[in-house]
Structure 1
């Protein structure tokens, strides 16, 4: 019977077992152990119950396998019942059995695990390691580190590699490089740096914290490396934008005789996707096909996403249609791809189809839907998405709630944005920044400043995104004094200012006609920050608006150097030369743009009519609603050209148009 069980021939094991007239505890242990060891959990548990009814006494390995079977099935109630059986049968005092049951509880209920851990009379290294891993897994890393400290300092236990792997993962979750480096030093002192799993976890930790140099050092100090080691460092290079280093590492990986697996190829795909390199994405696709990795969900999802990010949505859709039963991640990836390619209606339609195919969606899919509705800018669809979030109980979640308020902001529904913001149960700096940006985007600069003060009252300090939104609101609202005051206050407080903040202030001064001050500000940008094309573009645009040709040449040369593939600088310069009568220079700009293959991106306006969003481009006389809007726009244009001191006439427009 033992021979058949170890060979995996369970049917023959059962035949021999049934033929035996007398069955002792050894017989029962063999047949139960055989079933559990080969994944036949249901049958193994049934046999255990039958054996106990006839007086069978299980051995320790069988008890551990029973607990593992309950663990794999996430049978929490069964685990509690078995826990009671162990106490009643007097088998509870065995440390290995206690550790196995502790592992069940840490993956399901940490409060039960804490009670069990406190009740254990003898705790070995495994007991402490299981608890530390449980705390890290449940996101309570601080408790894990405190327990580790207690284990080492108070009880003087000698830790092993598994313990350190959990502790280092906890440091990665916290993103605390200082604590992680001290743990790394502890690993070296205790002589655990030779452990392959510890080394891989250290490399992963440094990569997740953005300290690539330390990751390279940790990788180089590893005496032995496997595919996971190479993939961890490769992933770190890719996610931190070190693409040249990633390619060099991949080459070294091949020279070392380590074969690339599906994780390696997916990391390369992520890199080429970020670079927008369609040719190499196709090359990785062919490699995945050659190695028969297309059945891997991660590989297929990465391919769908990569083609979408390269604006090849047709290829993404073709891959998606090849999958017989896409999971929620695949659906989400495809929905996100449609949104990225400017096809919100297709994204929303696919979400509806997904809800018919899957019982439940997750928060990531909902975020993709909200992003699609924001892109469509249709208030009716946005309200529908908001309703789904409410029914899922996620409207008050800070991530979902922030996305909802941003969605309403893109629709121009600022009051709905404020209501969504107020519904967020626990607001963070991201949600405050989003509502501040929403008011600025919709033309309420003074409300933006008031919200900044309100946020600071709640004890939150503005981050670079917040301050940029405030400066942008002042810029578009014409609040020159307020914008300069905010900028000076940020400098006095030692806030983190980036080149975008200086560019926004340049735009603010340039729009107000302070061209000399704007140029001086560009020159005063700190060393290490190069003035952006947007700053020079703002100055060039102001030159056109105020009919000043003083800075045209210098601003134009800077724009063409910084953004040679953008059409904005060429067109702005061409129009300026044309308006000044310099037709030769205007033609030269147009020719230069054509010679360099620069494509013109057409700007458009968007307006909501009867709960449907319509887009208009300049000079479009063939739009079905052009006859309705053109007379109104002409009157408004006339009003804008009037003396600003005079009271403007109010035009009453048809309600359907508004």
Structure 2
């Protein structure tokens, strides 16, 4: 029997789930059920009579049980029985925050109360997620009101939805004698807010088929579900219905359209929709900034943030946060400082939503002191702000300062520990990282997969495979085996420690069902790093059956081919990338240039270099050293001239290549000129002084050599003195031989 049957009886308060049938109800509504009642608690004769009589009349067993329990549990009341007096009592309890008591009084009264009281109770139950009380209110309503108002049933559906009991909501929706647009909207909203967008969209489709017109609230819920499942086609259809029903100009719906178009990766349509909003609200601006940020278009996100100030709209703190994150992504320090200034004017500099991304922006823009200044000015420093500043110093390579701040933290969580540990591993401070691991294990038992990955990095950095095996055992005992990040870190550790057998076994037997391209790259890199290019190429062939290789994969393979002079394998990889449409960016071109150069195929290296649309100093250095490897000094000098014409600033690596070119061609004077012109670009390093000693020694410029040694800003190294001594002996300069022989260390 349904809720609205004329033969149904009053449902007692201790049977809130009676009539909620099926596993779905227990799954979606995890509250205890009390529908089982012992038959021995009631007289057999009366029970049998009611059972057979009502079966004859067509009344359900549930209704029989309701009637019996109603007669046994309802005693004469000592409190006022009039609806008005009971209503006043109920409101007194509600005002005092005693919802359970108020509902108990209502549930025990065999009278119908004013509908406004039911509406108020539904609202309070929804706010407190009081599902048991909500069921009692609904049960009382449908028992004493044969035809409850539709608006009250709609409130009941909304209450069930907010309490997370979607099965109850759908049952009530299906049993309603009459529905209006609010009923459909309440059910659709319940599905949307409950995390069931597919069911919400299906119900919306049924609503349209039923000929019920959607309201603005319905469309807002439907657009939210479209964004959750990225239903772009349906979103466009809903957009058309919004225009058709005349809801154009509703800023909430227009902002929702901007949001769903952004989530569906059609930000141009989102921007077009935003431009149609006559008076965008703070929500509208926050949506467009956020969607540009998620599209990795930080420049446009910052632009839209500043556009907002041409209106009279006050941004949310979350909008400031999104704009600062956008500045961090594009290293927009100037704009970040301007946003900081606006935040100070609006009194948001102490807001934790703004302060954390503000520190992060300064850190990523290289302004660590400003980040620390923001941190020091916070009136109350929480765990997030402490972790942010520690992480900032750690990733900036200032591990000592980071550790000092870390030691001052009033409390720490696993993220704080991971930040400090990541700083040590980033700076290759393996011993300090290992000490921190021991300190962490003594201080806390809190550990996650990130911690495990970092500890495995420490084992790899120390080449301590035995410690890595101990960590492997810890992973097995504590249930981290199913985490792919941990599995890949373990694979990388075995590879870097040279234990290729364990790496291969782990790769094949343990993570064969859930490995990804990172797993393949880790295994491939392990073999390539140890000069096993043939095996690396075999792994590459196997990899193509399971996943698409990344640019990182090709970079690793090309480096392996370069180190083993495997020209044919390198050509095959190059051809594979061309055939499969891979982008030849600067990094890949640099790897190709290096491979072809080391494999004595300079012509191909030059072709790859010249075909590049843009060339940075790293790519120039690759071709210069490639020519140096092939002893093409004249070509290096010509390339350096082209480099200057393109306006690329040379670095210390470039000048080392130029000096080597002068050595190969015997251009001692030109090499001297390049050396002394270096000061206009970079400060000369030890390798540059070594490069200058070589041509003076090789070509017999002993006087220039002696002057150069005396002008050096540091004492010559033993290899330098050895080379000078050999040159003096070769060219018969006995005085210099005796001089440098005394300066060389004995033994």
TM-score, normalised relative to structure 1: 0.73
Counterpart for residue 147 of structure 1? 304
> Measured at CA, do residues 87 and 172 of structure 1 come closer, stay the same or move farther in structure 2, by a change above 3 Å?
same
1:274 Cα deviation after fit: 5.7
Deviations 1:15-65 (A, max 9, x none): 333333322223222322232233322222111111122233445554334
Counterpart for residue 127 of structure 1? 284
CA distance in 2, matches of 1:57, 1:44: 16
Could you say what the CA RMSD is over the residues aligned between the two structures, in angstroms? 3.6
Task: Kindly indicate whether the alpha-carbon contact (under 8 Å) linking 2:391 and 2:420 is maintained by their aligned counterparts in 1.
Answer: no
1:281 Cα deviation after fit: 7.2
1:466 pairs, out of 636, 654, 657, with 654
Counterpart for residue 109 of structure 1? 266
1:19-38 alignment, distance < 5 Å: 19-38=175-194
- 1:370 has 2:563 as partner: no
Task: Kindly indicate whether the alpha-carbon contact (under 8 Å) linking 1:262 and 1:293 is maintained by their aligned counterparts in 2.
Answer: no
> Measured at CA, do residues 122 and 176 of structure 1 come closer, stay the same or move farther in structure 2, by a change above 3 Å?
closer
Larger radius of gyration: 2
- 1:415 has 2:603 as partner: yes
1:132 Cα deviation after fit: 3.1
Counterpart for residue 195 of structure 2? 39
CA distance in 2, matches of 1:350, 1:513: 52
CA distance in 2, matches of 1:506, 1:289: 57
Task: Kindly indicate whether the alpha-carbon contact (under 8 Å) linking 1:203 and 1:233 is maintained by their aligned counterparts in 2.
Answer: yes
Which runs of no fewer than 5 residues in structure 2 stay unpaired?
1-156, 431-460, 730-736
Counterpart for residue 354 of structure 1? 543
Task: Kindly indicate whether the alpha-carbon contact (under 8 Å) linking 1:386 and 1:395 is maintained by their aligned counterparts in 2.
Answer: no
- 1:84 has 2:272 as partner: no
Task: Kindly indicate whether the alpha-carbon contact (under 8 Å) linking 1:515 and 1:539 is maintained by their aligned counterparts in 2.
Answer: no
- 1:336 has 2:492 as partner: no
Task: Kindly indicate whether the alpha-carbon contact (under 8 Å) linking 1:269 and 1:302 is maintained by their aligned counterparts in 2.
Answer: no
CA distance in 2, matches of 1:283, 1:553: 54
Which runs of no fewer than 5 residues in structure 1 stay unpaired?
557-576, 578-584, 586-658
1:479 pairs, out of 641, 663, 667, with 667
Q: More displaced, 499-508 or 384-393?
A: 499-508
1:169 Cα deviation after fit: 2.3
1:436 pairs, out of 607, 624, 645, with 624
> Measured at CA, do residues 91 and 501 of structure 1 come closer, stay the same or move farther in structure 2, by a change above 3 Å?
farther
Aligned residue pairs total 549
1:448 Cα deviation after fit: 0.6
Task: Kindly indicate whether the alpha-carbon contact (under 8 Å) linking 2:399 and 2:424 is maintained by their aligned counterparts in 1.
Answer: no
1:243-262 alignment, distance < 5 Å: 243-253=399-409, 255-260=410-415
Deviations 1:397-430 (A, max 9, x none): 3332222222212222111111212332333333
1:298-309 alignment, distance < 5 Å: 298-305=485-492, 308-309=495-496
1:170-249 alignment, distance < 5 Å: 170-224=326-380, 228-249=384-405
> Measured at CA, do residues 381 and 194 of structure 1 come closer, stay the same or move farther in structure 2, by a change above 3 Å?
same
Q: More displaced, 272-281 or 118-127?
A: 272-281
- 1:505 has 2:687 as partner: no
TM-score, normalised relative to structure 2: 0.65
- 1:326 has 2:482 as partner: no
Residue 551 of structure 1 aligns to a residue whose secondary structure is helix
- 1:100 has 2:256 as partner: yes
Task: Kindly indicate whether the alpha-carbon contact (under 8 Å) linking 2:463 and 2:496 is maintained by their aligned counterparts in 1.
Answer: no
CA distance in 2, matches of 1:231, 1:314: 39
Deviations 1:280-328 (A, max 9, x none): 8788778877875554444444454456555565665565453231122
